[in-house]
């Protein structure tokens, strides 16, 4: 029974040493701590996890600044390519280093929006929202994100979500690990009175979509 465990341990050690030799052990350790911090924050919202995330991110910025700049520029390029304003209705487009969006406790106005951010937490309850238009488009993209979005079951939903590292969950679908992408559209989307398009893209993310 110990052989499989030993094999996994040796493989993990080999991967760690290989990545450390290529990227540097400081960078690898920072990435590991960042993932642990995100998972801990997703589980119990502990303050220590926020400290770990911030410190790990700062270490990565300092040690891999050039690489980070490249990643940010690529992410922004993809954002501008995808974030096309709707042909009608109000539209909000913003860029932020940190985003803390909580729209889950009282009534709020739902309008098309597009946000790019480095690190963010988003809570949306569409059942509390008052839509301005019959069809709404929401684009959320960034480097690190924790999203929990609640959508009424009678909405027509079209969702495209992807994370490089993390997990995406929607209805009975739950994928975790690396390189996960979800593309789904309500069968009766065009016939629904209210329609919602979600475009969610993160390098490291935990995306939860729920219906009520």
Number of structural domains found in the chain: 2
pLDDT in tens, 17-64: 777 777 788 888 888 887 788 777 767 767 787 788 778 877 877 777
Choice among 45-54, 70-79, 158-167 with the minimum mean pLDDT = 70-79
Inside any domain, residue 69: no
Give the range of the structural domain holding residue 95, as residue numbers without chain letter. Answer: 75-211
Coil, helix or strand at residue 69:
helix
Distances (CA, A) of 12 to 1, 15, 17, 147: 18, 5, 9, 30
Residues 122 and 48 in one domain: no
Instruction: State whether residue 178 is helix, strand or coil.
Output: strand
On whether both 199 and 133 belong to a single domain, the answer is yes
Determine the pLDDT at residue 205. 83
Query: To the nearest whole number, what is the mean pLDDT of the chain?
Result: 80
On whether both 183 and 93 belong to a single domain, the answer is yes
68, part of any domain: no
Q: Which of 43, 63, 83 is the last residue of a domain?
A: 63
Segment of 42-51, 165-174, 202-211 carrying the highest mean pLDDT: 202-211
Residue 70 in domain: no
Q: Do 119 and 33 sit in the same domain of this protein?
A: no
């Amino acid at each position: 029974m110990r052989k499989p465990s030993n094999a996994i341990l040796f493989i993990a050690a080999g991967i760690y040493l290989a990545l450390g030799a290529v990227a540097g052990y400081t960078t690898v350790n920072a990435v590991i701590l960042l993932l642990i911090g995100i998972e801990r924050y997703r589980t119990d919202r502990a303050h220590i996890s926020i400290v770990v995330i911030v410190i790990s991110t700062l270490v990565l910025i300092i040690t891999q600044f050039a690489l980070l700049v490249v990643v940010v520029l690529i992410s922004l390029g993809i954002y501008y390519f995808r974030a096309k304003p709707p042909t009608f209705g109000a539209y909000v487009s913003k860029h932020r280093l940190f985003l803390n969006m909580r729209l889950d406790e009282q009534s709020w106005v739902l309008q098309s929006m597009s946000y790019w951010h480095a690190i963010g937490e988003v809570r949306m309850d569409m059942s509390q929202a008052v839509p301005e238009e019959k069809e709404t488009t929401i684009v959320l993209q960034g480097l690190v994100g924790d999203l929990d979005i609640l959508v009424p079951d009678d909405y027509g939903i079209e969702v495209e979500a992807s994370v490089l590292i993390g997990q995406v969950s929607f209805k009975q679908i739950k994928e975790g690990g690396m390189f996960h992408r979800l593309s789904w559209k309500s069968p009766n989307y065009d016939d629904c009175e209210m329609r919602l398009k979600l475009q969610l893209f993160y390098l490291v993310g935990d995306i939860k979509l729920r219906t009520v």
